Structure formats: structure tokens, C-alpha cells
Chains A and B, each alone.
Chain A
């Protein structure tokens, strides 16, 4: 067995660290599109009537039952075929796009539940009180509901974000060069040696990112929930 070389972890860290930007970029894109999708689904669940609610529920149920990797493969291999069928050519080297689409589909379902539960956690009286003092529907949403919802959303959102980052590491299987992809590439360039050291370096980076995300959201949550103390 080849001796373990801890020094290589430090050697490889600077080589994978720049690719944190790719991982975070993919996450940002997914949060934007997936968040939008989740918002629409939550609206459908709350206001959509029987049909909207049913469609949203079926969508959420199905996406939660399918492993991310299967979804990733379906999108990566299936979407170009489908688009070719309706006359649009795609470039399969555009890995980031497929990754963002896949994880937006999955993240949207998670966020739909997060949004809905936050909305329902707010007392109905808050909305009625807002309307009764002469605010418009939109104003009530923006000034009364949204600030209260945000506090409820934050911990669940942080959780979803961490899960997204971890699941996002699967993107290397279709060839995306993110943290994980870069790590695998380095192992490949070494003809498979030093794999343990590279994986340990990746563990460190992902673990620190998770702790950072959780820390930042806890701080924001603490700041935003200041108002609660006065009410009680």
C-alpha cells in the first residue's frame, strides 16, 4: 500500500479552492430559478384552487421520490433530445446549464414546501390587520407578511441550501468542473494516486462551506427576529 502523504492535502487545497466559485455559482443559479419555481408552486398550493393544488402536490411528490443522480441523467441526456425534436440545438458541453436546470427542478419542490409552511405559520389576523388599517394587498404582503415569513423561512432555507450544495457535487458525473470535478480531475491526472488526500481536501472544503452557510444564516436569523421579543 502506498504511504499516506498528509502534506499533499495542503498542496492540493490551493488547486481546488478556486473552483469553489463554480460550486457557488451553480448554487446561486439554482437558488434563483429553483426559488422562483418554488414560489410559483407555493402560490399554486395556497391560491391555486383544487387544480393548482393538485398539480403542485403531484410535482412535489414525484420530484421528492427521484434520486438526484437519476434526474441529472434524465435532464443531461433527455433534454437535448427533446429540444432537437422541436428544432433547437444544444451544446452538451454546456454542463453548468444542465446542472442548474436539474437542481432547479428539485430545489423548486423543496422551496415550495418551505414557502408554504412559512406562509401558513403566520397568523391570519396579521393580514387582516394590515388590510384593515388601509394597506393594499401588495403592501400588506411586502410590509407585514414578508418580514415575518423571512424569519420562518431562513433556517429551512439554510438547510435546503446545504443539501443543494451536497447534492450539487454529483454534477461531476456529467463532467462539470466544480470543486468535486476538479478533485476528480486532479486524481485522474495523477493516474489515480493520492486519491485519499484529494478526497480529504474536498471534505475539508465542503465541511467548512456548510459550517459557514449555517453560521451566516443563524446570524441573519438572530438579527431579523429581534422584533419578536417586543411583541411577546
Chain B
């Protein structure tokens, strides 16, 4: 077995062009699902029964079914549903099928990650003792101020390791975006591979790219962790 090095070099360059798309998918999904996951965690810790049940149902569904199935379902439902709404309900002549499919990818990955993050945040919020909230309220902070200045910074430090895991998993699952014709790293590699049957070479190249990307994410979280958990060290001194 000999590897076609020339092809690998070319593929490295062309798949590198997909890195921004992969990162865009990861970042946008993360930006949407961070607040969504946070509010769901608050909802689950609160005492509204209906909200609690709804969130549990949603989390159980997302975590109980394969993401590839969620992708295929959304991609076969949303475009034609939107088209139906635009054409027949709103009566516009705007062509839905011109929408960049990355929008659907944002939707699926946010939908999926929000469920994972709600669990992460719930357990992180539980690590902050109740006395912290009471202390913050007793010195005259409002509830929102107490969350922003006291609870969240502490919970975030506890959540970071799981948040890092969730981000790495999200980055990995964006490789399935090719099913929605999004041109990410995997999609470009697949395309290149099919041209001349250079499958192994193409996939080995993105194998390395994914390792590098995940390493970068983990390093970033490592830096954040050392910054955020700074307050702990000050207490011990």
C-alpha cells in the first residue's frame, strides 16, 4: 500500500478551506445553545412543573436519538415546510431552496447541543451552594445581579471541563453536516476522495486536521480554566 503524497498535499490545502465552515458551525451552534442551555438549566432547577417536564422530555429525546437521524429528519422536513409556508400561507414568490443549507445545520447542532449544555449547567449550578445566593441578596444585589456577579462565575468554573467536552463533541459532530450539503472539512474530503478513489489519503488528512482542531479547542479551554478558577487560589492564600 502506497500513499499518494502529492494528492495528500493538495487535499490538505483544499480541505483547509473547509476549516472556517467547520469552525463557523461550531461557534454559531455554541453561541445559540449556551444561553438556551443556561435558561433550560434554570428552568429545570426552578419549581414550575410544566416547564420541568417539557425540558426533561426534550433533553431525553435529543440524548436518546442519533444526531444523524435528527439531521436527516430536519433536512427532509424544514426546506419543504418552509417552502409550503412561504408559497401557500404567506403567498410570496421567494425561493426557499436558495437558502444556504448551513442555516439548517445551525438549527440541528444548536438544538442538539442546547440539550447537552442544559445538563452541564444544571449540575454546575448545583455545585454553587445556596448560601451564595442568599448572601448576594442580603447585601442588596438584585436576583439578576446575583446571578451575573456571584453565581455564574462560580458555576462557569465548575462547568468548564464538561463544556470543553461538549465543544469537542460538537466539533466532531459537525462532520455530519455534509449530509446537508454544507461544504465543511469532511464534505470537501469526500468530494476529493471520490474523484480518484483516493479515500484513505483524503480521510487521513482530515483525521489529522480534526486532531489539530480538537487540540486547539482543548488548549483554549485550558487557558480559560486557569483564568476562571483564579478566584479559588486567592481564597487558599
Contact = CB atoms under 8 A, between A and B. Distances in A.
B66 A167 contact: yes
A14 B41 CA distance: 38
Contacts of B67: 166
B53 to A, nearest CB: 15
B76 interface: yes
A118 B197 CA distance: 44
Contacts of A73: 199, 203
B207 A210 contact: no
A66 B211 contact: yes
B207 A70 contact: yes
Interface in B17-35: none
Contacts of B60: 207, 211
Contacts of A199: 69, 72-73, 76
A65 interface: yes
Interface in B156-211: 168, 172-173, 175-176, 186, 193, 199-200, 203-204, 206-207, 210-211
Interface stretch (A36-44, A46-54, A76-84, A129-137): A76-84
A195 interface: yes
A166 B173 CA distance: 12
A207 B65 contact: yes
Contacts of B84: 1
B200 A169 contact: no
Interface in A185-214: 195-196, 199-200, 202-203, 206-207, 210-211
A77 B210 contact: no
Which secondary structure dominates chain A's binding surface?
helix
Given A169-B66, A169-B68, A169-B69, A70 B1 contact: no
A78 B199 contact: yes
Nearest to A86: B1
A69 interface: yes
Nearest to A184: B72
A195 B213 CA distance: 34
A180 B73 CA distance: 12
Contacts of A180: 66, 68-69
Interface residues of A, number: 35
B200 A81 contact: yes
Contacts of A84: 1
A66 B203 CA distance: 11
Contacts of B203: 70, 73-74, 77-78
A62 B204 CA distance: 13
B80 A206 contact: no
B235 interface: no
B210 A66 contact: yes
Interface in B93-127: none
Given A1-B81, A70-B210, A206 B64 contact: yes
B211 A78 contact: no
B61 interface: yes
Nearest to A210: B64
A64 B66 contact: no
Interface of A: 1, 62, 64-71, 73-74, 77-78, 81-82, 84-85, 162, 165-167, 169-170, 180, 195-196, 199-200, 202-203, 206-207, 210-211
Given A67-B173, A77-B203, A211-B60, 5 more contacts: A66-B172, A74-B200, A206-B65, A206-B69, A207-B64
A-B interface, 5 closest residue pairs, ranked by CB to CB distance from nearest: A77-B199, A210-B64, A65-B214, A85-B1, A67-B175
27 contacts: A1-B80, A64-B214, A65-B172, A65-B211, A65-B213, A65-B215, A66-B210, A68-B172, A69-B186, A70-B175, A73-B203, A74-B200, A77-B200, A78-B199, A78-B204, A81-B1, A82-B1, A162-B63, A180-B68, A180-B69, A195-B72, A196-B76, A196-B77, A202-B69, A206-B64, A207-B61, A207-B64
